[in-house]
Amino acid sequence: MSSKVAKLVSAYRQHLTVPWQTGLAAIQRVIFAVYDKADELRLRANTEEFALATQQAGKQWLLLDVTHAFPEWMASQEYRDAYFESPEDLDGYPEGELKQFIADLNAQLRARITAESGPDTVVALFGVGTLFGLARVSSVVEGIKDAVQGRLLVFFPGEHHPETHTYRLLDARDGWNYLAVPLMASE
């Protein structure tokens, strides 16, 4: 395990030692594990370390990997061949946020969260880098956060700027202001 990933696991483990308060707003239960996009493969290889830390803290773990969400969604579309010929026909394509894809993804994630998690569950959202150009991470987080009773851990390849609470996915897109708890490898 690389030292950066080990530090991120350590920061996460330390965060889990704090007893969970009840009655928090959904936004206060969101945690962003921010890491350098160059560490994506290392993090993928060590995801089980986060699951182990969660279980050692007496919590449940539910991993939701959205890496293949778009190709699976596109394959299920009746007019997929036409969309490949004219992608601008997809609702939201020019803006870089496919509205129907996001709605369907959020519905699918919410159903899994509702069926498979409880108040002591860390719901881990993984693979959000693959949403770049298709959906904003903030749209997915906003769409599912209320379904999470425990904590929502978002593995976020990008940057966090603490002075403005701004997150930037893959260091490329303009950031957005979000008040989630950031965990950094440097902590």
Residue 76 — φ and ψ, nearest 5°? -85, -5
pLDDT at 84 over 80: no
Work out the angle between the directed axes of helices 47-56 and 3-16 (0-180°, nearest 10).
20
| Selected residue with higher pLDDT from 184 and 187 | 184
| Selected residue with higher pLDDT from 24 and 90 | 24
- The pTM assigned to this predicted structure is 0.86
Q: Which ranges in 20-173 belong to alpha helices (H)?
A: 40-45, 47-56, 69-75, 80-85, 99-116, 137-144
Q: Going by C-beta distance under 8 Å and a sequence separation of 6 or more, which residues neighbour residue 67?
A: 126, 127, 130
Q: Which H or E run includes 27?
A: none
Q: What is the mean pLDDT of the chain?
A: 85
Q: How confident is the model at residue 93 (pLDDT cuts 50, 70, 90)?
A: low
Dist CA 131 CA 136 (whole Å): 7
pLDDT at 96 over 70: no
Q: What is the pLDDT of residue 187?
A: 44
Give the three-class secondary structure for 182.
Answer: strand
